[in-house]
Structure 1
């Protein structure tokens, strides 16, 4: 499996590196692992939905 780092994921998803680290620490990204101080994120991982925002669905 190929991995990307937190800075690479941040650039790919358009969010900050710190936010990616928080998502990893909270277990919101499946398949992550930590090697020393560095988070390893699967290259095919999807950006998790932001739980801080309330999405409205109009019917």
Structure 2
């Protein structure tokens, strides 16, 4: 199996190398393995999906029922 470095993945996926490190630590890149201080990412792995909320709406505060989290 072929592996790529964090920098290779950053160039391929067009995101920062630090973000790739965080994704590896969170376990969001399948097959990524840490060897000492470096990560090895399988070369055929695709970029993980963006997990941010895309609706543009904030969630309601469940304690007060408002959506501005108690701010005026």
Unpaired segments of 5 or more residues in structure 2?
Answer: 56-72
Structure 1 residue runs of 4 or more that deviate by more than 4 Å after TM superposition: none
**Ranges in structure 1 where 5+ consecutive residues have no aligned partner:** none
Q: Give the count of matched residue pairs.
A: 55
Higher relative contact order (CA 8 A, sep 6+): 1
Alpha-carbon separation, structure 2, partners of 1:19 and 1:8: 13
Greater CA radius of gyration, 1 or 2?
2
Alignment of 1:1-59 (within 5 A): 1-54=1-54
- Report the TM-score when normalising by structure 2: 0.72
